[in-house]
A and B are shown apart, each in its own frame.
Chain A
Amino acid sequence: MGLYLAWGVSLFSTLASLFFSEILKYPPCSLCWYQRIFMYPLVLIIPIGILSYDKHISKYILALSSIGSVIAGYHALIYHNIIREAFTLCTADLSCKTKQFELFNFLSIPVMSLLSFLLIFILSLKELKNEKRT
Chain B
Amino acid sequence: MKKELKYLMIIAAAVTAIGFVAVIALFGFEVKPESKSIGKNETPSYPMITNLVAVHSFSHGPKDAKVTVVEFFDPECESCAMVSPYIKKEMKFYEGKVQWVFRYMPLHRNSKAAVAALEAARKQNLFVEAMELLFEKQKEWGEQQEPMNEKINQILFGLNGLNKDQYLKDLANQNIDEILKQDEIEGRQAGVKGTPTFFVNNKMLEALDLDSLIAKINEGLNQ
Interface residues of A (CB under 8 A from B): 4-5, 7-8, 11-12, 15-16, 19, 23-26, 47, 50-51, 81, 85, 87-92, 94, 97-99, 102-103
When distances are taken between beta carbons in the complex, the residues of chain B under 8 Å from A91 are 107, 193-195
Closest to B111 in A: A90
Instruction: For the complex of A and B, list the 3 residue pairs with the smallest distance between their C-beta atoms, beginning with the closest.
Output: A89-B194, A90-B77, A25-B33
Q: Which of B11, B144, B196 has a CB less than 8 Å from the CB of A7?
A: B11
A10 to chain B, nearest CB (A): 9
- Does the CB pair B4–A50 fall under 8 Å? yes
Interfacial residues of chain B within 28-59, with CB under 8 A of chain A in the complex: 31-34, 36, 38
Q: How far is A7 from B18 in the complex, measured between Cα atoms in Å?
A: 14
Interface magnitude class on chain B: 35 or more
Question: Chain A: which residue is nearest B145 at the CB level?
Answer: A99
- Choose one: A15, A88, A90; the contact of B107 (CB below 8 Å): A90
Complex contacts, A25 vs chain B, CB 8 Å: 33-34, 36
Distance, CA A87 to CA B2, complexed state (A): 53
Partner of B196, one of A11, A89, A94: A89
* Cβ-defined contact, B15 with A12, below 8 A: yes
Residue of A nearest to B37 (CB): A92
Q: Whole-angstrom distance between the alpha carbons of A24 and B23 in the complex? A: 11
Segment at the interface with A among B78-86, B112-120, B164-172:
B78-86
Residue of B nearest to A26 (CB): B34
A-B contact pairs, 30 of them (CB 8 A): A4-B8, A5-B11, A8-B11, A11-B15, A12-B18, A12-B19, A16-B19, A24-B32, A25-B33, A26-B34, A50-B8, A51-B2, A51-B5, A81-B143, A87-B79, A87-B82, A89-B193, A89-B196, A89-B208, A90-B77, A90-B107, A90-B108, A90-B195, A91-B107, A91-B195, A97-B143, A98-B108, A99-B143, A102-B145, A103-B26
Chain B residues with CB below 8 A from A11, complex form: 11-12, 15
CB–CB A19/B38 < 8 A: no
**Chief secondary structure at chain A's binding surface:** mixed
Please report the C-alpha to C-alpha distance between residue A19 and residue B22 in the assembled complex, in whole angstroms: 12
Please tell me if the beta carbons of A7 and B197 are within 8 angstroms of each other in the complex.
Answer: no
**B74 CB-CB contact with A under 8 Å:** yes
* B168-205 CB contacts (< 8 Å) to partner A: 193-197
Q: Is the CB of A90 within 8 A of B80?
A: yes
Q: How far is the CA of A50 from the CA of B4 in the complex (A)?
A: 7
> Known interface pairs A8-B14, A15-B15, A47-B8. Does A23 touch B31 (Cβ–Cβ under 8 Å)?
yes
Q: Is B93 an interface residue (CB 8 A)?
A: no
Residues on B with beta carbons closer than 8 Å to the beta carbon of A50: 4, 7-8
In angstroms, Cα B195 to Cα A4, docked, is 46
A24: chain B residues at CB < 8 Å are 31-34
